[in-house]
């Protein structure tokens, strides 16, 4: 019996580590997709088959791959189609998992970057507050911490006082 429990524990740890590595891969793919169309297409192709059983974080990155397709599209109708799909998907996933910093950070970054005419700015203040309140949480690994911290420090949506508070977090 103890062998079965030990084996189950080992398998669970391997599964958790592989999921964490997969999320780090998604982050890098998202960053690269923001840089050029080729990487956006790779990211979208990789993420388009992600299903509900893979969890909210994976579904969030799927929505982000749709935002990247929107960002790099030239045709206004195609751009709007990807935008509407991505916005709906990301908001649904955050509604299911509102305390996931891995989802709130990208939504904040999208909303502060997207043109105001699209009207997708309603969560900026609440996401910013959530990010600042949870930046040092146990669920924030070093890579994610650095990404969020850097983005907030460069954001025009953070006041000088907020930026000073972020700088003091170590």
> Is there a single domain that holds both residue 115 and residue 93?
no
Tally the residues of the chain: 170
> Is there a single domain that holds both residue 71 and residue 52?
yes
- Interatomic CA distance for residues 120 and 167, integer angstroms: 28
Last residue of a domain, one of 97, 117, 136: 97
- Interatomic CA distance for residues 94 and 161, integer angstroms: 28
Distances (CA, A) of 151 to 102, 103, 156, 167: 14, 14, 10, 12
Nearest to 61 by CA among 14, 113, 110, 12: 110
Asked whether the beta carbons of 21 and 8 are under 8 A apart, the reply is no
- 12-24 pLDDT tens trace: 344 444 677 888 9
CA 62 and chain centroid, separation: 9
> Is there a single domain that holds both residue 115 and residue 127?
yes
> Is there a single domain that holds both residue 91 and residue 144?
no
> Is there a single domain that holds both residue 61 and residue 133?
no
> Is there a single domain that holds both residue 91 and residue 140?
no
Q: Count Cβ atoms within 10 A of the Cβ of residue 157 and give its class: 0-12 exposed, 13-18 middle, 19 or more buried.
A: middle
- Domain encompassing residue 25: 1-97
> Is there a single domain that holds both residue 148 and residue 166?
yes
pLDDT grade for 170, boundaries at 50, 70 and 90: low
> Is there a single domain that holds both residue 93 and residue 17?
yes
| Count: domains in the chain | 2
Last residue of a domain, one of 81, 97, 113: 97
- 60-89 pLDDT tens trace: 999 999 999 999 999 999 999 999 999 999
> Is there a single domain that holds both residue 83 and residue 41?
yes
Last residue of a domain, one of 97, 115, 148: 97
Q: What is the pLDDT of residue 68?
A: 95
Query: 0.85 cut: is pTM over it?
Result: no
- 3-50 pLDDT tens trace: 443 433 443 344 444 677 888 999 999 989 999 999 999 999 999 988
> Is there a single domain that holds both residue 92 and residue 19?
yes
């Amino acid at each position: 019996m103890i062998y079965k429990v030990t084996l189950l524990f080992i398998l669970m740890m391997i599964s958790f580590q592989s999921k964490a590595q997969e999320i780090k891969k998604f982050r890098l793919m998202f960053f690269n997709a923001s840089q050029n169309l080729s990487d956006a297409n790779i990211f979208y192709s990789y993420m388009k088959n992600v299903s509900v059983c893979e969890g909210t974080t994976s579904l969030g990155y799927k929505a982000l791959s749709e935002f990247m397709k929107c960002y790099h599209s030239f045709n206004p109708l195609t751009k709007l189609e990807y935008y509407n799909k991505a916005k709906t998907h990301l908001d649904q996933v955050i509604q299911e998992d509102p305390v996931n910093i891995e989802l709130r950070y990208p939504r904040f970054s999208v909303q502060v970057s997207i043109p105001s005419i699209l009207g997708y700015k309603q969560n900026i203040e609440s996401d910013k507050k959530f990010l600042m309140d949870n930046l040092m949480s146990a669920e924030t690994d070093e890579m994610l911490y650095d990404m969020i911290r850097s983005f907030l420090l460069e954001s025009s949506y953070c006041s000088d006082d907020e930026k000073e508070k972020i700088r003091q977090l170590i």
